[in-house]
Structure 1
Amino acid sequence: MNQELEKPRLLLVDDDETFCNVLKNALEKRNYEVIVANDVENGIKMAEISEPEYAVIDLRIGYQSGLELVKKLISLDGNTQIVMLTGFASIATAVEAIKLGAIHYLTKPANADEIVNALNKNEGDTSVSINENPLSVKRLEWEHLQKVLMQHDGNISAAARALNMHRRTLQRKLEKRPVRE
Structure 2
Amino acid sequence: MNENGELLLVDDDATFCRVLARALTRRGFTVSQAGDGSAALTQARQQPPDFAVIDLSMPGESGLQLIQPLIAINADMRIVVLTGYASIATAVEAIKLGAMHYLTKPADADAVCQAFQLDTGNAGIDVTEQPVPLNRVEWEHIQRVLKECDGNISATARRLGMHRRTLQRKLQKRPSR
The alignment status of 1:27 with 2:17, answered yes or no, reads no
Stretches of 4+ moved more than 6 A in 1? none
Maintained 8 Å contact 1:149/1:155 = yes
Maintained 8 Å contact 1:83/1:102 = yes
Counterpart selection for 1:91 from 88, 91, 99: 88
Equivalent residue, structure 2, for 1:145: 142
Maintained 8 Å contact 2:91/2:102 = yes
TM-score, with structure 1 as normaliser: 0.92
Equivalent residue, structure 1, for 2:167: 170
Gaps of 5+ in 2: none
| Matched residue type, 1:16 | D
Counterpart selection for 1:44 from 16, 41, 46: 41
Equivalent residue, structure 1, for 2:156: 159
Whole-angstrom CA distance in 2 between matches of 1:135 and 1:162: 23
CA deviations on 1:51-85 (whole Å, 9 max, x unpaired) are 11100000101354111111221232222100000
**Following TM superposition, by how much is the alpha carbon of 1:176 offset from its aligned partner in structure 2, in angstroms?**
0.9
Tell me the secondary structure at the aligned position of residue 52 of structure 2: strand
| Matched residue type, 1:15 | D
| Matched residue type, 2:137 | L
Q: Which segment is superposed worse, 56-65 or 25-34? A: 56-65
The alignment status of 1:8 with 2:24, answered yes or no, reads no
Equivalent residue, structure 1, for 2:77: 80
Equivalent residue, structure 1, for 2:121: 124
Tell me the secondary structure at the aligned position of residue 65 of structure 1: coil
Equivalent residue, structure 1, for 2:66: 69
Maintained 8 Å contact 2:36/2:60 = no
Maintained 8 Å contact 1:65/1:154 = no
Tell me the secondary structure at the aligned position of residue 138 of structure 1: helix
**Following TM superposition, by how much is the alpha carbon of 1:158 offset from its aligned partner in structure 2, in angstroms?**
2.0
Gaps of 5+ in 1: 1-5
Whole-angstrom CA distance in 1 between matches of 2:24 and 2:140: 32
Whole-angstrom CA distance in 1 between matches of 2:150 and 2:64: 10
RMSD between aligned residues? 1.3
The alignment status of 1:103 with 2:100, answered yes or no, reads yes
Counterpart selection for 2:130 from 129, 133, 138: 133
CA deviations on 1:138-166 (whole Å, 9 max, x unpaired) are 00000000111111222222222211222
